[in-house]
Amino acid sequence: MTAIRAFFWDVGGVLLTNAWDHNERTAALSHFQLDADDFQRRHETVVEPFERGELTLDEYLAQTVFYHLRPFTRDEFRDYMFSLSKPLPGSLDFAQALGRSGKYLMATINNESRELNLHRIEKFGMRDIFRLFFSSCFVRMRKPDPEIYQLALDVTQISPAESVFVDDRPENLKAAAGVGMQTVQMRGLEQLQADLAKLGVQPWQGL
């Protein structure tokens, strides 16, 4: 069995709640009493450049929410967006333990807009866990484009067989497997640990 040298992690749905996915958008629309259909149409036209870092958060909000006057401010809406991010039970601690073991290069491969990504990195101490962030807003590529996984391998110079990509979405895992990475779908912490044990990443007590 090839020894694992690197972990590449999705963030939303694996380590933290999603940053600005369907559930988070629904919560915000309800909180601020916005028309869901109108917002969704506008969101769909700009979400890709937003997550690739081609639009700032203010530019995104100008096109989706603040295209006319609202009874709330941009700061209030932005603060609410940021407040929706929460850690998933045990996941960050587990990733931190893997990183502290000194055995593995730790990095992320995730789709997030710049301001939300930086907020989450800072708030949840992710710089203490990960050496590299292959975030869509930094590299101008999005999962499941194969190029983002290949970039992570090229920059780190870790072979695909020595790499594990962890994500909760099958389409992202399929793309990572397509460039040769080993993959594990995140369904829960115990399941993740069991699947990693099959790849020789154990025992947890030693981390």
Q: Would you say residue 21 has pLDDT above 70?
A: yes
CATH superfamily of 6-18+87-206: HAD superfamily/HAD-like (3.40.50.1000)
Task: Determine if the peptide bond prior to 49 is cis (ω within 30°).
Answer: no
pLDDT at 193 over 80: yes
* Cα 27 from Cα 36, distance rounded (Å): 10
Residue ranges of the chain that CATH labels 1.10.150.240: 22-83
Report the C-alpha gap between 133 and 107 in whole angstroms: 6
Question: pTM, whole model, 2 decimals?
Answer: 0.95
Position 1 scores a pLDDT of 72
pLDDT, position 202: 75
For the stretch 77-134, pLDDT in tens is 999 999 999 999 999 999 999 999 999 999 999 999 999 999 999 999 999 999 999 9
Start-end of CATH 3.40.50.1000 domains in the chain? 6-18+87-206
The mean of the pLDDT values for the chain is: 96
pLDDT-derived band at 2 (thresholds 50, 70, 90) equals: confident
CATH topology of domain 22-83: DNA polymerase; domain 1 (1.10.150)
Please tell me the predicted confidence (pLDDT) of residue 22. Answer: 96
Residue where the block lists tokens 């995104």: 60
Per-residue pLDDT at 206 exceeds 70? no
